[in-house]
């Protein structure tokens, strides 16, 4: 009975969770852009930007923690074995160096809530054949 009650709560927010995925994607893109930036935080301009960067990082962390608290989890992505239940292969590279089908690039992350898939990951797969 308790398990059923918990499942009902988790799956009741499933549609809302799907609506949050673009927000999660936007934060991921912002964090990626920050990591790839060539900003020199020692300059006067860099010091101004540092506060903005810190704020975006803080909001992203709080948001990610909140999503996780409500059972929304990222599916395995880059370097994980390819799983058609989790991954939507939009490209495939054949290379004998792979021992099994492996995700080599993730274009869009996949997410689940509980045992249900909210969105499969869009990936490129490396395959031995």
Which tens digits make up the pLDDT trace of 18-32? 999 999 999 889 888
d(CA 118, CA 27): 18
d(CA 129, CA 54): 45
Paired with 91 in beta bridges are 124
Strands 87-94 and 72-74: unpaired
List, for residues 40-97, the tens digit of each pLDDT value: 778 888 788 888 888 888 998 999 999 999 889 999 999 999 999 999 999 999 988 8
Q: What is the DSSP letter of 78?
A: T
pTM: 0.79
């Amino acid at each position: 009975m308790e398990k059923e009650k918990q499942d009902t709560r988790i799956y009741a927010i499933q549609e809302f969770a799907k609506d949050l995925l673009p927000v999660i994607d936007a934060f991921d893109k912002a964090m990626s852009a920050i990591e790839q930036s060539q900003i020199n935080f020692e300059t006067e301009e860099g010091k101004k930007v540092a506060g903005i960067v810190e704020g975006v990082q803080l909001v992203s962390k709080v948001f990610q923690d909140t999503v996780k608290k409500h059972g929304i989890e990222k599916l395995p992505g880059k370097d994980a074995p390819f799983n058609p239940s989790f991954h939507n292969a939009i490209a495939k590279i054949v290379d004998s160096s792979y021992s099994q089908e492996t995700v080599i690039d993730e274009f869009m992350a996949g997410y689940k809530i509980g045992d249900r898939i909210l969105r499969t990951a869009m990936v490129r797969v490396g395959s031995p054949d």
